[in-house]
Structures are given as structure tokens and as C-alpha cells.
């Protein structure tokens, strides 16, 4: 289970505004091995965390490159998984290292979507000179990817903008934080967005999540009903904030759980400017 909120405007009017604001939670088993976000690739051009689970090494859930390629993945809630399916994390790493544009890449992925368990994939080309393009594809939805219009979006473990209560609640908190803090220092906006991602208020009852996950037992589903998930041995273990300003300056802030302990966290920030 994961959740992503993002707002983008390729040509914001205000010089102090951001072209892209993204806030995301990674929910995973605490024991699943992974690397913290850092630069990697042939020229250290890709910034992301990395999955180190045996057989899935090198996949990731969210990343951005200095060339302006960005991708983010969530799994689609489905009770029965195909254990022989390909690892979904490779969809992100392949895009971050390819020369294909976002829409062409997602069209290619849509032809191979049956090889994976359910997923949602956001792919973006961020360009200071040509403008930003963000596309979406989910292999449990429409057969073709779509180019998104500028605006604010929420994505969890159903199709884009599916109105799960926790998604609607979190999206409202996200929008309020953005509106409240855009004119304030960047650190204030990041702190407010981390607060949104840390909200543990259960949004119940939620018929939509219960219907999609009807083969799960209800108490199990209820633990997924908050923006920040907390279960024994499983839950939100990484928060990520990505800000891209009008000049193409990127601020990537990651907050990670330490030693499988939900009370201990560390925060790191990477900054760079997109290549022209």
C-alpha cells in the first residue's frame, strides 16, 4: 500500500511557485531490505531508493533523474497475486534510464501490462525549456495511457483519483498545505507536507476500499484506511517530498524509518538543477 499526492503547473505565473510538488508514502514490510535514496546509474544521474529483496534487486517505487525523468509506482490492491509475475519496481528503473519519452514508454508498458500484478505508474518528462509532461497508466484500468492536464492529483492502490476516503482526506490536507505554505520558506512547506504524510487518522467506513478488497478480512483492510499505515511489521516506512521550481531546481527530501522502529526516523535532502 502506498499513496501519492502531486500538483503540477508547467508554467506557473508566480516566480516563487513550484512547477511540481509531490508527496508520497512508501508502505512496505519493515523487514524488506532496501537502500536509502541516493544517486546511481552510469553517471550518477538517477536519484531513488532501491529495493534489495532477493529477485527484485534494483527496482524502485519512486525516482527522478538529472535529465528530468520522474517516475512513481503504486501497487493495485488485489487479493490474489501471481507469484510468477515480473517485479513491478523495474518499471520505474527502466523509465529513469531509458531515452524514451514518458508517453511512448507507457504505451510500451501497456502492451506488456499483463506480465505484472496490478500497478499504477506515473511517468514524467520535466523540461525547463520545453515544458513538463506527466502521463499515467494503470494496468487494471483503460488500455491506453493518458497525458494529464495541469492540476492536483491523488493516487493510492486503486486507479488514479479513485475516491477512497483516505485519498480524498489526504488530498485535501495536501492542497491546504500547499496553499498555506507556497509563499513561505521551502523548509516550512516540506515540514507541512511531511505532517500530511504522517497522518494516522482512520477514514472509516470506506465502502470503496472494502469493495475492491472484499476478499480481505475487514479488520485487515481497516488498518489501511489512513494516509500513514501502521500495522505490526508493516506500514509506512518512507516519506518523500519532491519540489521542482520554475528554474528547474529540484529538492528531494526523504524521511526513513530506522531499525524497523516507527518511533525513530531520519531525514535527508538532495538538491540539484535539471539539465537543459
Is the pLDDT confidence value at 43 over 70? yes
Q: What is the distance between the alpha carbons of residues 242 and 70, in angstroms, rounded to a whole number?
A: 10
Structural domain including 236 reads: 3-273
48, 96 in Cβ contact below 8 A? yes
Q: pLDDT at position 110, please?
A: 98
2, 25 in Cβ contact below 8 A? yes
Q: What is the distance between the alpha carbons of residues 60 and 69, in angstroms, rounded to a whole number?
A: 14
Q: What is the distance between the alpha carbons of residues 186 and 206, in angstroms, rounded to a whole number?
A: 34
Q: Which tens digits make up the pLDDT trace of 118-177?
A: 999 999 999 988 899 999 999 999 999 999 999 999 999 999 999 999 999 999 999 999
pLDDT bracket for residue 216 (50, 70, 90) = low
pLDDT bracket for residue 219 (50, 70, 90) = low
Query: What is the mean pLDDT of the segment spanning 235-248?
Result: 96
256, 264 in Cβ contact below 8 A? no
Looking at residue 230, which CATH number applies to its domain?
3.60.60.10
252, 271 in Cβ contact below 8 A? yes
How many domains is the chain built from?
A: 1
Does this model's pTM top 0.85? yes
Amino acid at each position: 500500500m502506498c499513496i501519492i499526492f502531486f500538483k503540477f503547473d508547467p508554467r506557473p505565473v508566480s516566480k516563487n511557485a513550484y512547477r511540481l510538488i509531490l508527496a508520497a508514502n512508501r508502505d512496505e514490510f519493515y523487514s524488506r531490505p532496501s537502500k536509502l535514496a541516493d544517486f546511481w546509474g552510469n553517471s550518477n544521474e538517477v536519484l531513488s531508493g532501491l529495493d534489495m529483496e532477493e529477485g527484485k534487486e534494483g527496482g524502485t517505487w519512486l525516482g527522478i533523474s538529472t535529465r528530468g525523468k520522474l517516475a512513481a509506482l503504486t501497487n493495485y490492491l488485489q487479493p490474489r497475486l501471481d507469484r510468477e509475475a515480473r517485479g513491478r519496481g523495474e518499471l520505474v528503473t527502466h523509465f529513469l534510464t531509458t531515452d524514451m519519452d514518458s508517453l511512448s514508454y507507457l504505451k510500451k508498458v501497456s502492451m506488456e501490462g499483463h506480465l505484472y500484478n496490478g500497478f499504477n505508474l506515473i511517468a514524467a518528462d520535466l523540461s525547463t525549456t520545453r515544458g513538463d509532461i506527466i502521463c499515467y497508466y494503470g494496468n487494471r484500468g483503460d488500455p491506453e495511457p493518458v497525458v494529464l492536464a495541469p492540476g492536483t492529483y491523488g493516487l493510492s492502490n486503486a486507479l488514479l483519483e479513485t475516491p477512497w476516503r483516505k485519498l480524498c482526506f489526504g488530498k485535501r490536507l495536501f492542497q491546504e498545505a500547499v496553499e498555506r505554505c507556497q509563499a513561505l520558506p521551502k523548509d516550512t512547506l516540506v515540514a507541512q507536507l511531511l505532517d500530511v504524510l504522517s497522518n494516522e487518522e482512520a477514514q472509516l467506513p470506506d465502502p470503496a476500499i472494502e469493495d475492491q478488497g472484499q476478499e480481505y478480512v475487514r479488520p485487515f483492510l481497516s488498518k489501511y484506511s489512513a494516509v500513514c499505515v501502521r500495522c505490526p511489521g508493516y506500514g509506512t516506512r518512507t516519506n518523500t517530498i519532491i519540489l521542482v521550481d520554475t528554474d528547474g531546481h529540484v529538492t528531494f527530501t526523504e524521511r526513513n524509518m530506522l531499525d524497523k522502529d516507527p518511533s525513530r526516523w531520519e531525514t535527508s535532502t538532495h538538491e540539484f538543477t535539471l539539465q537543459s
